[in-house]
Amino acid sequence: MSKQKIVRIAAGLVILVGILSWMFTAPYLSNTGLGRTPGIILGGTPTPALSDFSILNGTVQGLLIKKHVGFPPFVDYLSWVATPEGIITATRPDGGYWARRVRERGGDGWLRIGDATFEMTAIEKFGDERLAMMQMWATKAGRTLDQSVYEGAEPLRDWEVFFWVPR
């Protein structure tokens, strides 16, 4: 076997290991300060829709993990608050990828909260309903609608709200 062929095989293996490593670890990079790096693997246990999602507010802490159907299969973290009918999420009005994807391709996906993974559909909310849901989200985050989550961000009253319901 020639040296050139060995180098190609080695380079291919390095690339393959790199891709597989990213697939299995990237969903967790968002919490390490490495930025908004999406992953691919959602994990969790497929769980039937709950009759009252609000029970999750008192039992599960931390961010949820979201994955949309289709390609690319990005997985990322969101802050959330549960209501009896579903899950409220919010995002900055900065033209972010996942909000555009919901608008352009539909909101079908999965939400992983703790170890439970639910099949859900995101519905964008507007007007008074959006503000009421944003108030619930802000309260859980320990903020008011006039505050931002961090320096330089828009006040929470301007954020986009998506309500996830079982599909």
User: Does the structure show a pLDDT above 80 at 73?
Assistant: no
Which stretch of DSSP H or E encloses residue 126?
A: none
Average pLDDT of the segment spanning 145-162? 91
Q: Say if pTM beats, i.e. exceeds, 0.85.
A: no
- Over residues 105-134, the pLDDT tens digits come to 999 999 999 999 999 999 999 999 999 999
User: Does the structure show a pLDDT above 60 at 31?
Assistant: no
* Structure tokens that stand for 22 in this block: 């990213």
Yes or no: say if 69 and 107 are a contact pair by the CB < 8 Å rule: no
pLDDT of residue 95: 83
What residue spans define the domains of the chain? 3-32, 45-166
Does the domain at residues 45-166 carry the CATH identifier 2.30.110.10? yes
